A and B are shown apart, each in its own frame.
Chain A
Amino acid sequence: MAQGVLEGHPSSDGALILSINGSLDTTSTGQAWRRALQLITEHQPKGLIVDASRLTYCDGAGAALLLELRRRQESRRQPYEIQSLDPAYRALLDLYGRWDAQRPEPLAPADSPVEQIGRATVAVWRDVVVLIAFVGQLSSALASAARRPGLVRWKDALLTAELAGVNALPIIMLLGFLLGLIMAFQSAIPMRQFGADIYVANLIGLSMLRELGPLLTAIILAGRSVSEEIDALTTMGLEPVRFLVVPRVIAAVAMTPLLSVFAGLLGLIGGAVVMLSLGFPLVTYIIQVKSAVTVGDLIGGLSKSFVFGIVVAAIGCLRGLQTKSGAGAVGESTTRAVVSGLVLITVVDGIFAVVFYCLGI
């Protein structure tokens, strides 16, 4: 093994002489650092002398080692000396050594679990308060928009309707179709064992129109409307709720039921494909759907998607308004908007389920 950069031998008066032979840079200092500490532990010297006469190069890492040795000796109140150090490296040591006395205090350790739960609770509570305030603001803005429709920025509303509605149509139709197809396939296999495969039509009709159509639409819109909102919100700063949120809520409220009709319809078509492949004539399927699904179901689904539309647009706008400045902030608030949008949609859906059950719809 090659001789190390740093070697040590005791002097006559009980001090340890560390002689450096070569370069102390980021690659060689690691080994020298360990060796120095090892030698100090072995010898437990009274004093420390560093012989730098054969030091060929020293960078920040080398300076750190020499300063660390000095700090150790000073804390033990023992002598420390560097001999024959090149003036250039002495200047480097002085430069870095200037701050040696002041080491910043590490931040307080992470909160205990209790504190974290407390903080999270407070954060959620604050969020709820903000949400309630926002609902109030939005309601008053919507009420004043209803009183004076001329003040609503209809052009903006139409543009949003196009962006969030028309442009989302293909993906919603595709997903609706696939959802109907998959559900029909999955349910047809077990139901056939009981000779009940005709009831696949009931299942598809009810679930697509009442439940999944509106839900699917709302989920797609939650992911879609946000980025446009934030772009618009960041470029304008005047009365955002009135000027920006109201048109978007109107657009979403108009588009979500329409889109969920498409989602439901395509879901039914997907189911029809499966039923045809199982050997049922199309007429049988249609009659079965008609007998299973009432107008009440359709209206229930549409009223749901109406509320979903408000929720999705409002939460998207709220998070957009809360966007901080900075490169990461837009992405962060987009994620927050989508996540809280999905949570609220699910909560609202649950409330609807209970209400429908109580009303017997």
Chain B
Amino acid sequence: MVRREFNHQVPIITVRHFTAGYDGHVLLRDLSFDIYPGEVFVILGGSGCGKSTLLKHMIGLYQPLKGSIHIEGKDIVTAQGQQRLGILARIGVMYQQGALFGSMTLLENVRLPLEEYTDLPGEAIDRIALMKLQLVGLGPAAYKLPDEISGGMRKRAAIARAMALDPPILFLDEPSAGLDPITSAELDQLIIGLATHLNITFVVVTHELPSIETIADRVIMLDKRTQGIIAEGRPQELRDHSKNLWVRQFFNRQVEAVG
């Protein structure tokens, strides 16, 4: 598969000395990494290693114990008030279950951020919302309620809503969880398409191996025991050349050796 090359000069997200945990219990310790514009960056690791926690810190839901998370040069950890809203306007988030509002149609769900944050006239909002739904292939379902569509469609609608304000960065929490392989593959194609055509930076949390190999430009792998990053790089390189046995086993789907 042809991968795109990126300008690895100016990162769009920088995480430095990030330490997170709760109740005095540290979950992740001293993480530092960069994410570059336009790449699909995957955070992976086994269950309970803290990948969703890391994502929730990056979108400003939680406060880390230590460290900084800069998004387009602004620290989301310390930002307050208007500055914080300014950072949040530059990111979109797709939550694991979609988190669509059940009483609104898909179109109304996508309209909502546009109505709240812009002064666009109603017909413009309608048009933009419809464009986003068409972009994720849900044009014909625009007037349906979230209850009336499948899980895969809900996730795509959630991506459309996350993209409503054209943020340059999208965070996806377990996009393939609970989807069948075909729907999951369709979602992967959508992610690649959006990254390629709209130059959106994706930060994806997942542990689905086929999905990682399809979409990821670069991955970091978190580990529960070391509470940090045990591998960073392109998935193919990690699979074939990682020095860490566990990483190679993960990518080759082998059971863990006792030892």
Contact = CB atoms under 8 A, between A and B. Distances in A.
Interface residues of A, number: 30
A59 B166 contact: yes
Interface string B198-214: 10000000000000000
B117 A26 contact: yes
Contacts of B53: none
Interface residues of B, number: 28
Nearest to B128: A64
Contacts of A26: 114, 117-118, 120, 165-166
Interface stretch (B7-15, B133-141, B226-234, B240-248): B133-141
B132 A61 contact: no
A61 B124 contact: yes
B130 interface: yes
B interface SS class: helix
A33 B163 contact: no
A234 B28 CA distance: 37
Contact of B121 (A27, A30, A99): A30
Interface string A4-42: 000000000000000000000111011101100000000
A99 B127 CA distance: 11
Contact of B135 (A34, A95, A328): A95
Contact of B118 (A30, A34, A67, A91): A30
A103 B130 contact: yes
Contacts of B165: 26
A168 B194 CA distance: 56
Contacts of A82: none
Contacts of A29: 118, 120, 124
A116 B99 CA distance: 30
B118 A104 contact: no
B139 A104 contact: yes
Interface in B96-134: 97, 102, 114, 117-121, 123-124, 127-128, 130-132, 134
A223 interface: no
B124 A64 contact: yes
Contacts of A30: 118-121, 124
A326 interface: yes
Contact of A99 (B123, B139, B141): B139
A63 B166 CA distance: 11
A31 B120 CA distance: 7
A68 B126 CA distance: 11
B190 to A, nearest CB: 13
A96 B120 contact: no
B145 to A, nearest CB: 10
A43 B120 CA distance: 22
Given A95-B197, A96-B134, 10 more contacts: A26-B118, A30-B118, A60-B128, A60-B163, A61-B128, A68-B124, A92-B197, A92-B198, A99-B131, A99-B139
Interface of B: 97, 102, 114, 117-121, 123-124, 127-128, 130-132, 134-135, 139-143, 147, 163, 165-166, 197-198
